[in-house]
Structure 1
Amino acid sequence: MICQSLSYAEVGPGRLPWLDTLLKGLVALLLLGTVNVLFLVPDGDRYLFKLMALTALVGLARRAVQRDWTLQVGRRFIFPLTAYALVLFFSNLFLSGFGATVKTYLVGTLLLYAIAPLRLRGQWLSLLLIFGGIEFFAFACYQVISLGVGRFHGYTHPIFMGIFCMTSAAMALFLSRRMEGMLKPGLWLATLTFFLAALLSSTRGVVIAIPFILLMFTWLCWKEGQVKVSLLPWVMAIVITPFFNPAMLNSAIHSESMIGKMGTALNEAQAATEDEKYATSIGFRLMMWQFCIYAFEQSPIYGLGRDGVEKAKQEYVDQGLAPETLLTMVPKAHAHNQYFQELAQRGLIGLAALLLVFSFSVREAWERIQAQRWSGFALAMLIGAFMIYCLTEVALKHPIKVDVFLIFGWFLHQYHDDESPLLKGSAS
């Protein structure tokens, strides 16, 4: 399975066959670590970071042996990611930032460049997603049902878990249109199990992304002439979501309506009473975003940096513009919105660099969609989903979430080279 999935772009054997095999093995292990291990062990991102660094070094060594430093595939992903990584690096150097985030982006972009000659088909990733879906759903049921935990989190934060599980469910859903044999029903099962695990994390950002993911899948099925296939995920989402999201179910039974909750949240955002407790996280987010605009106005070009944002928080509270809760609830410049986070911490430069990452991939996806290629729809789904996650979370700040974005993004960017245009009933 691994041998069938991994190959090299150049024709003919490499100069050192054992180095070719070693790099293939490390990349296969990297995918295994991301999909099946990263979120299910304590401090999984630290171990994955070491594997990423080792794989990058081996990939660079192979490039040196092959005397090939070109970048034929993935430019629209790697170049803007490199620009964003450099913005993070210099912001951290001259102002302040989050060291782990900077290291993850720098090593991650180097990794993607180092393994760019590799071509990964969908079989290996599909198999990992099938087993991963079973793993995560079983663990979610154990935590939420057996242990009585309110939100499924594994060994990380529920928000991180929700983003990973929903993204994996979407990847499995789209791959089900390209795989054949037992992989196809297995991927449908993975879609269901990852979807349920994501709902058990009770993360609003992933629920917001569901309609977009399903719309992209419906568009893909329509292009393939298989519109009826797209109906099952819609039915699954509509029927299952209220029953497997503890927060939504509890709100529907015991709490005020969603309209009432939004009204409460808006009132909370306007309040400035000391030590006021915000009853909903929506209200707290609105307060955070108002503060981010204030911080952005202090240094609109290159931002305040992490420490500068913390000082601005204290000033904001001292002026009576927000309660003390702003200082205690969210540590170290966490804005619960990636776009506001960039504006406050890295200014217009940071926001532009982030949007560059998204826009280049969107352009790549659109060109592939026009060429009737499967990977264009899947890439649009992935980038669009992360853009939606960024509305309510800092989806590209913590290393564990950045790893998922980098690995899945690389897979879709490099996938299209030998792919045929979509045909009815086609599969790779």
Structure 2
Amino acid sequence: MLRQYFSALLWGLAALTFALAISTPNGYGIPTGLLFLASASLFYLRPKWCDLSLEDRRLFYAFLAFGLSMFVFVYLDGWYTRELDRPSRFILVLPVLLMLLQSSNHKEWLWYGAIVGAIGAFALACYEKFVLGIDRAHGSEYPIMFGNTGMLLGLLSLAGASYFLAMKRYFWLSLALIAAIAGIGSSFLSGSRGGWIALPIIGCFMLWQSRELFSKKSLVGVLVAAFILLGVAVAVPQTGVMKKVDQTLVSLSQYYSGENKATSLGMRFDMWVTAYHLFQESPILGVGEYGEKAEKKRMVEQGVIPPAMLHFNHAHNEFINALSQRGLVGLAFLLLVYLVPMRLFIKKMEANANNWRIKSYAMAGALIPMCYMDFGLSQVMFAHNIGVMMYAFPIVYFWAATRWAEREELGESKSN
């Protein structure tokens, strides 16, 4: 009985990670910190390494390899130990993975957490935008991080909607759909354009994977509703979407004509060019985060890059930033921590194509690296605490949920 209550507590904390993520200051940090402290229970649970599947180990080793590789790069960059904090989360989450694989109750609470988190994010964004008059909703984070996390919560809620639809639980289906719109809406209100690219791409992926749940008429209805909602988001001036689109087009024109390169988009292009020059200096292991500062000063003195580039600590692109600071080796480890989890989840989706008790959790897990690869095109997500935490921990949550869903289905089939 005590173990059942403890399992419920663990999954409750996992759900709170989503529920509090951006609607409260450091909302993601408290539940994840408590989960890590609770992982001391492994001494009591005594998980056996041989009980882990090959897939469990692949995820475990992918996170471990990325975390340790970042430690090595910090050492090569001068051993500034404060830079160990964020990559250490990929290692500290591993005992949580082992613990959740031993704790089977209440995985469904992840959906409830995502729903509450997405609706809470939208409520906060509306308050900041329409009551306080803030130009870009941001909560206690940077607008880009707020918007990208809101988009992630919205898409997780959409994955939850597929689960509730398959289970014919229409009340929670309605709430999940509202939460999906809310999470996406919070991204729009933040003005974070980079996250918007994820919506049509990942939305189409999820719709294609869920096509068997819809009749032809309902599928057409879903598409029409999606286009109407998108049109409303673009057309209503208060959302700021059309303003951002116009700014993007103007910035592109001004940058390439040479009229004005100091726009937000223009500065990004200059950051990417700067990162390319840094990559050429050390293509294998990169110049390092701190080594980059000295290299930038030298390039400014030589007139290679504009002086404004000295004010930025990263390239606002996860992939290009990895190349410049950690070289081809660093990029390889970054791709490892994206592609290994994504492939593991997609394999689970393929193996359980018609079983939504399992597939929905696997689909939610797969869309996390998908979203992050999109977000990484315009932001270095892993340079922020929330970016690291809302990647590593949710992947562990949904992997453990997928594995438990498999075990439960296997148990039911044996009993039948």
The answer to whether TM tops 0.5 is: yes
Q: How does 1:176-325 map to 2 (within 5 A)?
A: 176-179=161-164, 180-226=169-215, 228-229=218-219, 230-231=222-223, 232-243=225-236, 246-251=239-244, 258-267=248-257, 278-325=261-308
CA contact (8 A) 2:86 2:384 kept: yes
More deviation, 126-135/235-244: 235-244
2:156 matched to which residue of 1?
171
Matched with 1:95 is 77
Alignment partners' CA distance in 2, 1:382 and 1:167: 7
Shift of 1:20: 5.6
In structure 1, the partner of 2:130 is: 145
Residue 398 of structure 2 corresponds to residue 412 of structure 1: yes
- Change in Cα spacing, 1:362 to 1:26, as seen in structure 2 (3 Å) is closer
What is the deviation of 1:284?
0.8
1:353 positional shift: 0.6
Structure 1 residues 130 and 378, CA gap change in structure 2 (3 angstroms): closer
For normalisation by structure 2, the TM-score amounts to 0.84
Closer, same or farther: CA 77–400 of 1 in aligned 2, 3 Å: same
Aligned counterpart in structure 2 of residue 370 of structure 1, from 342, 350, 355: 350
1: CA distance between counterparts of 2:244 and 2:14? Answer: 39
Shift of 1:298: 1.7
Aligned-residue CA RMSD (Å):
2.7
Write out per-residue CA displacement over residues 63-87 of structure 1, whole angstroms, 9 at most, x where no aligned residue: 43x5566423633433211111111
Which AA in structure 2 matches 1:187? A
2:230 corresponds to which letter in structure 1? A
- Equivalent position SS for 1:356: helix
- Contact 1:212-1:381 within 8 A present in 2 as well: no
C-alpha distance in 2 between matches for 1:54 and 1:356: 27
CA distance in 2, matches of 1:388, 1:119: 32
Corresponding residue number in structure 2 for 1:395 = 381
Secondary structure class of the residue paired with 1:305? coil
TM-superposition CA deviations, 1:44-71 (whole Å, max 9, x none): 455455324313323x32343x556642
Q: Separation in 1 of the partners of 2:393 and 2:234? A: 27
Aligned amino acid, residue 21 of structure 1: Y
- CA shift digits 1:384-428 (9 cap, x unpaired): 22111111111233121211112322233233343599xxxxxxx
Amino acid at match of 2:52: L
- Aligned residue for 1:74, secondary structure, equals helix
Q: Aligned residue for 1:36?
A: 19
Letter in structure 2 aligned against 1:154: G
Q: Matches of 1:411 and 1:67 in 2, distance apart?
A: 19
Is the contact between residue 23 and residue 117 of structure 2 (CA under 8 Å) also seen in structure 1? no
SS for the counterpart of 2:108 is helix
> Is the 8 Å Cα contact of residues 188 and 241 (structure 2) preserved in structure 1?
no
Partner-residue secondary structure (3-state), 2:24: coil
- SS of equivalent residue, structure 1 residue 99: helix
1:213-234: CA deviation from partner (whole Å, max 9, x where unpaired): 2111220232434453442334
> Taking structure 1 as reference, are residues 302 and 55 closer, same or farther at Cα in structure 2, changes over 3 Å only?
farther
SS of 2:101 mapped into structure 1: coil
Give, as a single letter, the amino acid of the residue that structure 2 aligns with 1:129: A
Query: Does the CA contact (< 8 Å) of 1:49 and 1:104 recur in 2?
Result: no
Stretches of structure 1 that go unaligned for 5 or more consecutive residues are 1-16, 272-276, 422-428
Q: Give a deviation string over 1:193-220, Cα, whole Å, max 9, x none.
A: 1121111011011111111121112202
Partners of 1:226 and 1:405 in 2: CA distance? 34
Displacement of 1:158 in angstroms is 0.8
For residues 151 and 175 of structure 2, the distance between their equivalents in structure 1, rounded to whole angstroms, comes to 17
- The range that moved more, 228-237 or 43-52, is 43-52
Task: Work out which of the residue numbers 63, 68, 74 in structure 1 matches 2:56.
Answer: 74
- Equivalent residues of 2:375, 2:381 under 8 A apart: yes
Q: Which amino acid aligns with 1:368?
A: K
1:233 and 1:79 mapped to 2: Cα distance? 39
Q: Structure 1 CA distance, aligned partners of 2:364 and 2:118?
A: 19
Q: Give deviations 1:100-153, integer Å, cap 9, x for gaps.
A: 212322212343234332346653122223332332222111111111111111
- Partner residue in 2 for 1:337: 317
Question: TM-score normalized by structure 1?
Answer: 0.82
* Residues paired across the two proteins, number: 389
Query: More displaced, 369-378 or 243-252?
Result: 243-252
Cα distance in 1 between the residues matched to 2:364 and 2:157: 10
1:129 corresponds to which of 114, 137, 155: 114
Q: Higher helix share goes to which structure?
A: 2
1:354-397 Cα deviation digits (max 9, x unpaired): 11122222322332343314444434333222111111111233
1:62 corresponds to 2:44: yes
Query: Are residues 259 and 156 of structure 1, via their aligned partners in 2, closer, same or farther at CA, if it must alter by over 3 Å?
Result: closer
Contact 2:276-2:320 within 8 A present in 1 as well: yes
